[in-house]
Chains A and B, each alone.
Chain A
Amino acid sequence: MKIDDLKQKIGFGILRLSVLVIILILGIILYDIISKGIGVIDWGFITKAPKDGMTAGGIWPAIVGTSLVTLITAVVAVPLGVFAAIYLNEYANQGKITRLIRMAIRNLAGVPSIVYGLFGLAFFVNILGLGTSVLSAGLTLGLMTLPVTITASEEALKSVPDSYRRGALALGASKWYSIRTNVLPHAIPGILTGTILGLARAAGETAPILFTGAAFSLPFLPNELTEMLSRQFMALPYHLYIMATQHHDIAKVKPLAYGTALVLIILVLFMNLIAILLRFWLRKKKE
């Protein structure tokens, strides 16, 4: 019996240690980026365009580009995701087609991001003739994010009690009316939580925008929105990639690369934080 107790102590100790290792890994990542990036970030770095072959200046066009492409991603992925989830949770019966749809969604989630890039190049850039542009890149990222928004929305819809639906239907409301007025309003916070996480991932993606619209450098931004949509754009993740790999003078751009990495991480973690807080608040409200 004594030996068993010892075994349990050692065993649980190993489990604790493995958790500590994972926290340590995250700690090292965040510490390295924050400690080396924080000195670079100031007002000028955020608001100016890069200059002197990226060895000076800031990352403003990349911030604008990332925001714009994420916005397009949201416009594509959120409504399509919510509509698909409404079908799956409210209308679909558990037949073969439904199983096939679910299987397709799970497989889409596993399609490598670079393959989405290939698809975006072949379909949006070439076949639809949108060219390498913010629009092509945003549409590509939108399709990539779709499985996440569908799954998140479905989870949110599933958590709305059936009595809400039955109550409305019993009063003579049509199915769509009951969904629109009783089910959706209760599901929206949950839908938001999941979709924000999906969009945060999209904002940090590089591979899908490599050949669908990301530009090496773009010193100034077009004024008109329509012109902006049809042009190439700078993005934070792509800018970091270029600085880290394509630059002839890595020592000189390394501090700026750290600064860009920190801004990117702040952007993504800020979106994550909103999602986490939203979920926390949601759970509190339910209790």
Chain B
Amino acid sequence: MKRKGNLSRLKEKGIELFFFSNGILAIIILIGIFYLLLSEGLPTFNEVSLKEFLTSTRWNPASYSEPSYGILSLIVSTLLVTIGSLIFSVPLGIACAAYLAEVANPKVREVLKPVIEILAGIPSVVIGFLGIVLVGPMIAKVFNLSNGLNAINGSILLGIMALPTIISISEDAISAVPEKYKEASLALGTNRWHTLVKVTIPAALSGIIAAIMLGMGRAIGETMAVLMATGNAPAFPASIFDSVRTMTATIAVELGEVPYNTPHYYSLFAIGLVLFIMTFIVNLISDIVLHKYGEGQ
């Protein structure tokens, strides 16, 4: 009887260990991604200094006579379309979240939530395709350009794709504001709009900021839509009507054509490394903000 007890305890321990190993898998994968990006990306710096890599605007690793590996134009392009996308997705997303959380009646909410989920479900390659055949020609017509494949096209598409993230996390944050805050405000004689703007949204601000950060992380890392719709010119952008090429698009376009283990190949992994670090920092900040806010409740 005692033997059997020990055996089953051993079995339980084994089962727990099995699940534990699956639990730490996430950490292993994250470290694995980082390690591989490092080991495949670092050889780049035998060819070019880190300073030049990050501050030179000349990206031409395929050149036979004088290859150059400066990614500043790519970083600036990425930030340009990202910030452009946030300019309209942030106000629109927060307004929609506020409506869902505070104004809409439950039935309307039940209908609207799947609508936003559908928007989130549309593949980025489809959005990129529409950027070529629908949004691009529209931009070209409105602004009288020869073609509409430029930074502003990418910004519009990225904004659409960031919307569901911003809406759903902001809505959670606004809904989580304790009822007593609103009741106190209403009891003082203010109306619902005043309460929303002066009490509820400020109280939910940390969650909303986290939502914006996550939307931004999505936009920085998005590949297909910007690859298809921004025109892919790896030069320093002078305006939002210029063709640009983001970091993600550069990897996507060039990696298919380079031979393995060449300086050009390594440099694309180095871009991946920079991208990974950028999104990691953005995610970490939103994580910390969200965590703080979770404890504050």
Query: What residues make up the interface of A, taking CB atoms closer than 8 Å to B?
Result: 4-5, 7-8, 11-12, 14-16, 18-19, 21-23, 25-26, 28-29, 32-33, 80, 83-84, 86-88, 90-92, 97-98, 100-101, 103-119, 121-123, 126, 143, 146-147, 150, 174-176, 197, 200-201, 203-207, 210-211, 237-238, 240-241, 244-245, 254, 257-258, 261, 264-265, 268-269, 272, 276
Contact of A241 among B116, B128, B194 (CB under 8 A): B128
| A219 CB to nearest chain B CB (Å) | 20
| B162 CB to nearest chain A CB (Å) | 12
Let me know if A91 and B255 touch, CB within 8 A. no
Q: Given A12-B103, A92-B23 in contact, is the A110-B96 Cβ separation under 8 Å?
A: no
* 9-residue interface stretch from B33-41, B53-61, B64-72, B180-188: B33-41
Q: Given A32-B134, A241-B228 in contact, is the A112-B279 Cβ separation under 8 Å?
A: yes
Chain A residues with CB below 8 A from B129, complex form: 240-241, 244, 257, 261
List 7 extra interface pairs beyond A4-B194, A22-B92, A201-B121, CB under 8 A.
A104-B29, A115-B33, A126-B260, A174-B11, A205-B124, A207-B224, A244-B129
A contacts with B: majority SS? helix
Q: Given A237-B125, A244-B129 in contact, is the A107-B283 Cβ separation under 8 Å?
A: yes
Chain B 49-93 residues near chain A, CB threshold 8 A: 91-92
Let me know if A15 and B36 touch, CB within 8 A. no
Q: Given A8-B192, A19-B96, A272-B118 in contact, is the A261-B20 Cβ separation under 8 Å?
A: no
A to B CB contacts below 8 Å, 16 in the list = A4-B194, A8-B192, A18-B96, A19-B99, A29-B130, A84-B25, A107-B280, A119-B32, A147-B26, A176-B12, A203-B123, A204-B121, A204-B122, A211-B255, A244-B133, A265-B126
* 9-residue interface stretch from B140-148, B213-221, B237-245: B213-221
Q: Given A19-B112, A33-B126, A211-B256 in contact, is the A25-B121 Cβ separation under 8 Å?
A: no
Let me know if A112 and B224 touch, CB within 8 A. no
Alpha-carbon separation in the docked complex, A130 to B220 (Å): 30
Q: Given A107-B283, A113-B221, A113-B223 in contact, is the A206-B37 Cβ separation under 8 Å?
A: no
Alpha-carbon separation in the docked complex, A105 to B37 (Å): 18
Q: Given A101-B26, A106-B283 in contact, is the A207-B248 Cβ separation under 8 Å?
A: yes
Let me know if B197 and A91 touch, CB within 8 A. no
Let me know if B222 and A265 touch, CB within 8 A. no
Alpha-carbon separation in the docked complex, A113 to B248 (Å): 9
Alpha-carbon separation in the docked complex, A175 to B29 (Å): 28
Let me know if A32 and B115 touch, CB within 8 A. no
Let me know if A114 and B19 touch, CB within 8 A. no
B154 at interface, CB cutoff 8 A? no
